[in-house]
Amino acid sequence: MLGILKLAYKLLVNDRAKFTALLVGITFAVFLIVMMTSIFAGVLDRASATVINIGASIWVMDPAVQTVANTIGMPDYILDAVRSVRGVKYAVPLFSGGALVKLEDGTYQSVNVIGLDDTSLFGRPPMEEGDIGSIFAENSFIIVHDSEFSKLGSPHVGTTFELNDNRGVVVGIAKVSTSSLFGVPTLYTTYYRAIQYIPNPRFTISYVLVEPKSEQDIAIIQEEVQKLGYLALTKSQFEARISAFYKYQTGVGMNLLLMTIFSFVVGLSISGQTFYTFILENLDKFGALKAKSRELVAMIMFQAAFTALTGFGLGIGFCALVITLAKARLPDYAAIVTYPNIVTALVMVIVIAGISSYIGVRKVLRIEPFDIFRG
Protein backbone atom coordinates (compact mmCIF):
# COMPACT_ATOMS: atom_id res chain seq x y z
CA MET A 1 0.00 0.00 0.00
CA LEU A 2 2.84 2.40 0.81
CA GLY A 3 4.29 1.93 -2.66
CA ILE A 4 0.95 2.67 -4.27
CA LEU A 5 0.61 5.90 -2.24
CA LYS A 6 4.14 6.97 -3.25
CA LEU A 7 3.22 6.37 -6.88
CA ALA A 8 0.02 8.38 -6.40
CA TYR A 9 2.02 11.25 -4.94
CA LYS A 10 4.48 11.26 -7.84
CA LEU A 11 1.68 11.12 -10.40
CA LEU A 12 0.01 14.09 -8.73
CA VAL A 13 2.94 16.44 -8.24
CA ASN A 14 4.62 15.62 -11.56
CA ASP A 15 1.67 17.21 -13.38
CA ARG A 16 2.55 20.63 -12.02
CA ALA A 17 -0.07 22.56 -13.95
CA LYS A 18 -2.99 20.44 -12.68
CA PHE A 19 -1.55 20.20 -9.18
CA THR A 20 -1.14 23.99 -9.01
CA ALA A 21 -4.66 24.55 -10.33
CA LEU A 22 -6.07 22.19 -7.68
CA LEU A 23 -4.13 23.94 -4.91
CA VAL A 24 -5.17 27.40 -6.08
CA GLY A 25 -8.85 26.41 -6.24
CA ILE A 26 -8.94 24.89 -2.76
CA THR A 27 -6.72 27.59 -1.23
CA PHE A 28 -8.94 30.32 -2.63
CA ALA A 29 -12.08 28.56 -1.39
CA VAL A 30 -10.64 28.09 2.12
CA PHE A 31 -9.45 31.70 2.16
CA LEU A 32 -12.94 33.00 1.30
CA ILE A 33 -14.69 30.65 3.73
CA VAL A 34 -12.43 31.52 6.67
CA MET A 35 -12.41 35.21 5.78
CA MET A 36 -16.20 35.46 5.66
CA THR A 37 -16.74 33.51 8.88
CA SER A 38 -13.92 35.43 10.61
CA ILE A 39 -15.51 38.75 9.71
CA PHE A 40 -18.80 37.51 11.12
CA ALA A 41 -17.09 36.28 14.30
CA GLY A 42 -15.38 39.66 14.67
CA VAL A 43 -18.68 41.51 14.24
CA LEU A 44 -20.38 39.35 16.88
CA ASP A 45 -17.45 39.78 19.25
CA ARG A 46 -17.50 43.57 18.95
CA ALA A 47 -21.29 43.66 19.23
CA SER A 48 -20.86 42.24 22.75
CA ALA A 49 -17.94 44.55 23.62
CA THR A 50 -19.67 46.22 26.58
CA VAL A 51 -20.68 42.86 28.06
CA ILE A 52 -17.15 41.49 27.67
CA ASN A 53 -15.41 44.59 29.02
CA ILE A 54 -17.69 45.08 32.03
CA GLY A 55 -17.48 41.39 32.93
CA ALA A 56 -20.54 41.09 35.21
CA SER A 57 -21.76 37.56 35.96
CA ILE A 58 -25.48 38.40 35.60
CA TRP A 59 -27.18 41.22 33.70
CA VAL A 60 -30.70 42.25 34.70
CA MET A 61 -32.59 44.07 31.95
CA ASP A 62 -35.95 44.78 30.37
CA PRO A 63 -37.19 41.70 28.44
CA ALA A 64 -37.36 43.76 25.24
CA VAL A 65 -33.59 44.36 25.18
CA GLN A 66 -31.94 42.42 22.34
CA THR A 67 -28.52 44.05 22.15
CA VAL A 68 -26.38 45.79 24.73
CA ALA A 69 -26.74 49.06 22.80
CA ASN A 70 -30.54 48.83 22.89
CA THR A 71 -31.05 49.90 26.49
CA ILE A 72 -34.46 50.35 28.12
CA GLY A 73 -34.53 52.14 31.46
CA MET A 74 -35.71 50.36 34.60
CA PRO A 75 -37.19 51.95 37.75
CA ASP A 76 -34.99 52.36 40.84
CA TYR A 77 -36.96 49.85 42.91
CA ILE A 78 -35.68 47.03 40.68
CA LEU A 79 -32.19 47.59 42.08
CA ASP A 80 -33.44 47.24 45.65
CA ALA A 81 -35.58 44.24 44.74
CA VAL A 82 -32.66 42.44 43.12
CA ARG A 83 -30.41 43.16 46.09
CA SER A 84 -32.96 41.49 48.36
CA VAL A 85 -33.06 38.25 46.36
CA ARG A 86 -31.58 35.24 48.10
CA GLY A 87 -28.23 34.28 46.61
CA VAL A 88 -27.23 37.79 45.49
CA LYS A 89 -23.78 38.75 46.76
CA TYR A 90 -24.12 42.32 45.49
CA ALA A 91 -25.95 44.26 42.77
CA VAL A 92 -25.06 47.64 41.26
CA PRO A 93 -26.63 49.90 38.62
CA LEU A 94 -25.08 50.60 35.23
CA PHE A 95 -25.89 53.41 32.83
CA SER A 96 -25.25 53.03 29.11
CA GLY A 97 -26.28 55.68 26.61
CA GLY A 98 -25.27 57.71 23.61
CA ALA A 99 -24.26 61.38 23.60
CA LEU A 100 -22.70 64.04 21.40
CA VAL A 101 -19.51 65.75 22.55
CA LYS A 102 -17.97 68.98 21.26
CA LEU A 103 -14.20 68.71 21.01
CA GLU A 104 -11.66 71.46 21.59
CA ASP A 105 -11.38 72.16 17.86
CA GLY A 106 -15.14 72.75 17.62
CA THR A 107 -16.06 69.48 15.90
CA TYR A 108 -18.70 67.09 17.22
CA GLN A 109 -18.38 63.37 17.81
CA SER A 110 -20.89 60.75 18.90
CA VAL A 111 -19.82 58.75 21.95
CA ASN A 112 -21.09 55.96 24.15
CA VAL A 113 -21.11 56.87 27.84
CA ILE A 114 -20.85 54.17 30.50
CA GLY A 115 -21.88 55.25 33.99
CA LEU A 116 -20.34 53.07 36.72
CA ASP A 117 -21.76 52.62 40.20
CA ASP A 118 -20.48 55.54 42.32
CA THR A 119 -19.76 53.38 45.34
CA SER A 120 -17.95 50.38 43.85
CA LEU A 121 -17.02 51.45 40.30
CA PHE A 122 -17.79 47.85 39.36
CA GLY A 123 -16.86 47.14 35.73
CA ARG A 124 -14.11 49.78 35.63
CA PRO A 125 -11.50 49.23 32.89
CA PRO A 126 -7.73 48.84 33.47
CA MET A 127 -5.94 52.20 33.34
CA GLU A 128 -3.14 53.16 30.95
CA GLU A 129 -2.80 56.73 32.22
CA GLY A 130 -4.19 58.46 35.26
CA ASP A 131 -5.79 57.13 38.42
CA ILE A 132 -9.26 55.52 38.55
CA GLY A 133 -9.94 57.51 41.73
CA SER A 134 -9.83 60.73 39.70
CA ILE A 135 -13.19 59.79 38.22
CA PHE A 136 -14.81 61.23 41.36
CA ALA A 137 -13.42 64.69 40.62
CA GLU A 138 -15.69 67.32 39.12
CA ASN A 139 -16.55 66.88 35.40
CA SER A 140 -14.27 63.82 35.19
CA PHE A 141 -14.34 61.25 32.38
CA ILE A 142 -12.11 58.35 31.41
CA ILE A 143 -11.61 57.65 27.70
CA VAL A 144 -11.06 54.17 26.30
CA HIS A 145 -7.95 53.78 24.18
CA ASP A 146 -9.27 51.54 21.41
CA SER A 147 -9.59 51.72 17.63
CA GLU A 148 -11.94 54.72 17.94
CA PHE A 149 -9.62 56.73 20.21
CA SER A 150 -8.34 58.98 17.42
CA LYS A 151 -11.88 60.20 16.64
CA LEU A 152 -11.69 62.26 19.84
CA GLY A 153 -8.51 63.92 18.64
CA SER A 154 -6.22 61.49 20.48
CA PRO A 155 -6.80 63.24 23.82
CA HIS A 156 -4.55 63.12 26.87
CA VAL A 157 -5.06 63.63 30.57
CA GLY A 158 -6.29 67.19 31.02
CA THR A 159 -8.06 67.49 27.65
CA THR A 160 -11.44 69.21 27.91
CA PHE A 161 -14.64 68.89 25.89
CA GLU A 162 -18.33 69.70 26.13
CA LEU A 163 -21.14 67.22 26.60
CA ASN A 164 -24.64 68.70 26.36
CA ASP A 165 -23.26 72.12 27.40
CA ASN A 166 -21.50 70.52 30.38
CA ARG A 167 -17.74 70.73 30.72
CA GLY A 168 -15.89 67.43 30.66
CA VAL A 169 -12.28 66.76 31.61
CA VAL A 170 -10.23 63.69 30.68
CA VAL A 171 -8.69 62.36 33.90
CA GLY A 172 -7.54 59.00 32.57
CA ILE A 173 -6.96 56.78 29.56
CA ALA A 174 -8.17 53.18 29.85
CA LYS A 175 -7.73 50.04 27.78
CA VAL A 176 -10.28 47.31 27.11
CA SER A 177 -10.08 43.82 25.65
CA THR A 178 -12.69 44.41 22.92
CA SER A 179 -13.38 47.53 20.86
CA SER A 180 -16.90 48.67 20.02
CA LEU A 181 -18.62 47.65 16.80
CA PHE A 182 -20.23 50.84 15.55
CA GLY A 183 -17.19 53.10 15.31
CA VAL A 184 -18.13 55.14 18.40
CA PRO A 185 -15.61 56.07 21.13
CA THR A 186 -16.41 55.08 24.71
CA LEU A 187 -16.30 57.27 27.82
CA TYR A 188 -16.52 56.08 31.43
CA THR A 189 -17.79 58.20 34.28
CA THR A 190 -19.84 57.77 37.45
CA TYR A 191 -23.47 56.71 37.29
CA TYR A 192 -24.91 59.92 38.76
CA ARG A 193 -22.77 62.17 36.58
CA ALA A 194 -23.92 60.26 33.50
CA ILE A 195 -27.62 60.69 34.27
CA GLN A 196 -27.06 64.38 35.08
CA TYR A 197 -25.18 65.14 31.87
CA ILE A 198 -27.29 63.09 29.45
CA PRO A 199 -31.03 63.71 29.01
CA ASN A 200 -32.98 60.62 29.99
CA PRO A 201 -36.57 59.46 30.43
CA ARG A 202 -37.97 58.89 33.88
CA PHE A 203 -36.16 55.56 34.41
CA THR A 204 -32.36 55.76 34.21
CA ILE A 205 -30.99 52.34 35.19
CA SER A 206 -29.91 50.64 31.96
CA TYR A 207 -28.79 47.39 33.61
CA VAL A 208 -28.40 45.93 37.06
CA LEU A 209 -25.14 44.03 37.39
CA VAL A 210 -25.34 41.10 39.78
CA GLU A 211 -22.73 38.88 41.35
CA PRO A 212 -24.19 35.63 42.77
CA LYS A 213 -22.89 34.00 45.92
CA SER A 214 -22.43 30.72 44.05
CA GLU A 215 -23.15 29.11 40.67
CA GLN A 216 -26.16 27.32 42.19
CA ASP A 217 -27.76 30.67 43.06
CA ILE A 218 -27.95 31.81 39.42
CA ALA A 219 -31.13 29.85 38.68
CA ILE A 220 -32.79 31.22 41.83
CA ILE A 221 -31.86 34.80 40.91
CA GLN A 222 -33.17 34.39 37.36
CA GLU A 223 -36.45 32.96 38.63
CA GLU A 224 -36.98 35.76 41.16
CA VAL A 225 -36.12 38.46 38.63
CA GLN A 226 -38.58 36.92 36.16
CA LYS A 227 -41.31 37.25 38.80
CA LEU A 228 -40.57 40.98 38.84
CA GLY A 229 -41.26 41.12 35.11
CA TYR A 230 -37.63 41.50 34.07
CA LEU A 231 -34.91 39.32 32.59
CA ALA A 232 -31.70 38.10 34.21
CA LEU A 233 -29.09 36.68 31.86
CA THR A 234 -25.63 35.36 32.55
CA LYS A 235 -22.73 36.88 30.63
CA SER A 236 -22.67 34.00 28.12
CA GLN A 237 -26.47 34.05 27.72
CA PHE A 238 -26.46 37.77 27.03
CA GLU A 239 -23.68 37.37 24.44
CA ALA A 240 -25.68 34.56 22.80
CA ARG A 241 -28.78 36.79 22.75
CA ILE A 242 -26.83 39.56 21.04
CA SER A 243 -25.35 37.10 18.53
CA ALA A 244 -28.79 35.68 17.74
CA PHE A 245 -30.09 39.18 17.04
CA TYR A 246 -27.36 39.91 14.49
CA LYS A 247 -27.60 36.45 12.95
CA TYR A 248 -31.34 36.19 12.47
CA GLN A 249 -32.83 39.70 12.72
CA THR A 250 -30.37 41.66 10.60
CA GLY A 251 -28.98 41.11 7.11
CA VAL A 252 -25.47 40.49 8.40
CA GLY A 253 -25.87 36.78 9.11
CA MET A 254 -27.68 35.91 5.88
CA ASN A 255 -25.30 37.89 3.66
CA LEU A 256 -22.20 36.29 5.13
CA LEU A 257 -23.83 32.85 5.00
CA LEU A 258 -24.49 33.29 1.27
CA MET A 259 -20.90 34.42 0.70
CA THR A 260 -19.64 31.33 2.54
CA ILE A 261 -21.83 29.06 0.40
CA PHE A 262 -20.61 30.78 -2.77
CA SER A 263 -17.01 30.26 -1.63
CA PHE A 264 -17.71 26.56 -1.12
CA VAL A 265 -19.31 26.23 -4.57
CA VAL A 266 -16.36 28.02 -6.20
CA GLY A 267 -13.84 25.73 -4.53
CA LEU A 268 -15.87 22.62 -5.34
CA SER A 269 -16.33 23.55 -9.00
CA ILE A 270 -12.66 24.45 -9.57
CA SER A 271 -11.17 21.48 -7.72
CA GLY A 272 -13.77 19.00 -8.99
CA GLN A 273 -13.34 19.98 -12.62
CA THR A 274 -9.52 20.10 -12.39
CA PHE A 275 -9.32 16.74 -10.60
CA TYR A 276 -11.64 15.17 -13.16
CA THR A 277 -9.41 16.48 -15.98
CA PHE A 278 -6.39 15.07 -14.15
CA ILE A 279 -8.07 11.64 -14.00
CA LEU A 280 -8.95 11.73 -17.71
CA GLU A 281 -5.39 12.56 -18.69
CA ASN A 282 -4.04 9.68 -16.60
CA LEU A 283 -6.62 7.04 -17.47
CA ASP A 284 -4.05 4.90 -19.21
CA LYS A 285 -1.85 4.78 -16.11
CA PHE A 286 -4.81 4.06 -13.82
CA GLY A 287 -6.05 1.38 -16.19
CA ALA A 288 -2.67 -0.34 -16.17
CA LEU A 289 -2.61 -0.26 -12.40
CA LYS A 290 -6.10 -1.71 -12.30
CA ALA A 291 -4.82 -4.76 -14.11
CA LYS A 292 -2.66 -5.38 -11.06
CA SER A 293 -4.72 -4.16 -8.11
CA ARG A 294 -7.88 -2.32 -7.10
CA GLU A 295 -5.83 -0.36 -4.56
CA LEU A 296 -6.01 2.56 -6.99
CA VAL A 297 -9.20 3.63 -5.17
CA ALA A 298 -7.07 4.40 -2.13
CA MET A 299 -4.59 6.00 -4.51
CA ILE A 300 -7.16 8.46 -5.87
CA MET A 301 -8.53 9.21 -2.42
CA PHE A 302 -5.00 9.91 -1.20
CA GLN A 303 -4.41 12.35 -4.07
CA ALA A 304 -7.65 14.20 -3.33
CA ALA A 305 -7.01 14.27 0.43
CA PHE A 306 -3.39 15.41 0.04
CA THR A 307 -4.38 18.24 -2.29
CA ALA A 308 -7.30 19.30 -0.10
CA LEU A 309 -5.31 19.38 3.15
CA THR A 310 -2.39 21.19 1.52
CA GLY A 311 -4.79 23.79 0.10
CA PHE A 312 -6.47 24.02 3.51
CA GLY A 313 -3.18 24.86 5.22
CA LEU A 314 -2.26 27.42 2.58
CA GLY A 315 -5.71 29.02 2.76
CA ILE A 316 -5.60 29.33 6.57
CA GLY A 317 -2.12 30.82 6.44
CA PHE A 318 -3.04 33.29 3.70
CA CYS A 319 -6.17 34.34 5.58
CA ALA A 320 -4.23 34.88 8.82
CA LEU A 321 -1.66 36.98 6.94
CA VAL A 322 -4.32 39.16 5.31
CA ILE A 323 -6.17 39.70 8.61
CA THR A 324 -2.91 40.60 10.38
CA LEU A 325 -1.98 43.13 7.69
CA ALA A 326 -5.52 44.55 7.60
CA LYS A 327 -5.58 45.07 11.38
CA ALA A 328 -2.23 46.81 11.22
CA ARG A 329 -3.54 49.24 8.62
CA LEU A 330 -7.24 49.44 9.53
CA PRO A 331 -7.92 49.82 13.28
CA ASP A 332 -11.66 49.25 12.80
CA TYR A 333 -11.16 45.88 11.07
CA ALA A 334 -13.08 43.35 13.14
CA ALA A 335 -12.20 39.91 11.73
CA ILE A 336 -10.94 37.24 14.13
CA VAL A 337 -10.05 33.62 13.33
CA THR A 338 -11.68 31.23 15.77
CA TYR A 339 -11.63 27.44 16.15
CA PRO A 340 -15.24 27.11 14.83
CA ASN A 341 -14.18 29.05 11.70
CA ILE A 342 -11.29 26.66 11.10
CA VAL A 343 -13.43 23.58 11.77
CA THR A 344 -16.12 24.87 9.38
CA ALA A 345 -13.53 25.36 6.63
CA LEU A 346 -12.02 21.92 7.32
CA VAL A 347 -15.42 20.21 7.04
CA MET A 348 -16.10 21.98 3.74
CA VAL A 349 -12.65 21.01 2.43
CA ILE A 350 -13.28 17.38 3.37
CA VAL A 351 -16.59 17.53 1.47
CA ILE A 352 -14.80 19.01 -1.54
CA ALA A 353 -12.15 16.27 -1.39
CA GLY A 354 -14.80 13.58 -0.97
CA ILE A 355 -16.83 14.72 -3.98
CA SER A 356 -13.71 15.18 -6.12
CA SER A 357 -12.38 11.72 -5.25
CA TYR A 358 -15.82 10.17 -5.87
CA ILE A 359 -15.87 11.64 -9.37
CA GLY A 360 -12.39 10.27 -10.06
CA VAL A 361 -13.02 6.81 -8.59
CA ARG A 362 -16.31 6.48 -10.47
CA LYS A 363 -14.55 7.22 -13.76
CA VAL A 364 -11.59 4.92 -13.14
CA LEU A 365 -13.68 1.95 -11.98
CA ARG A 366 -15.53 1.96 -15.28
CA ILE A 367 -12.44 1.46 -17.39
CA GLU A 368 -11.20 -2.02 -18.28
CA PRO A 369 -7.53 -2.96 -18.70
CA PHE A 370 -8.42 -4.46 -22.11
CA ASP A 371 -9.36 -0.99 -23.36
CA ILE A 372 -5.94 0.33 -22.32
CA PHE A 373 -3.80 -2.48 -23.79
CA ARG A 374 -5.91 -3.05 -26.89
CA GLY A 375 -4.14 -0.30 -28.78
Per-residue pLDDT tens digits for 163-178? 988 999 999 999 988 8
Q: Is 333 within a domain?
A: yes
Q: Is 61 within a domain?
A: no
108/207 same-domain check: yes
Q: Is 204 within a domain?
A: yes
211/280 same-domain check: no
89/198 same-domain check: yes
223/260 same-domain check: no
State how far the Cα of 214 lies from the Cα of 274, in Å rounded to an integer: 59
Q: Sign of dihedral through CA atoms 227, 230, 236, 241?
A: positive
Query: What's the pLDDT tens digit per position in 248-285?
Result: 887 777 787 787 788 777 777 777 777 777 777 776 66
pLDDT on residue 288: 63
State how far the Cα of 175 lies from the Cα of 70, in Å rounded to an integer: 23
Domain hosting 26: range is: 2-46+251-373
pLDDT on residue 193: 95
pLDDT on residue 165: 87
pLDDT on residue 240: 92
86/215 same-domain check: yes
What average pLDDT is seen over the chain? 85
Q: Is 151 within a domain?
A: yes
41/157 same-domain check: no
What total of structural domains would you count in the chain?
2
Q: Is 239 within a domain?
A: no
**Mean pLDDT split into 10-residue runs, the chain, 375 residues:** 73 78 83 85 86 94 90 93 94 93 91 94 93 92 90 90 92 89 88 91 92 94 95 95 86 77 76 73 65 67 84 90 86 82 85 77 64 51
Q: Is 93 within a domain?
A: yes
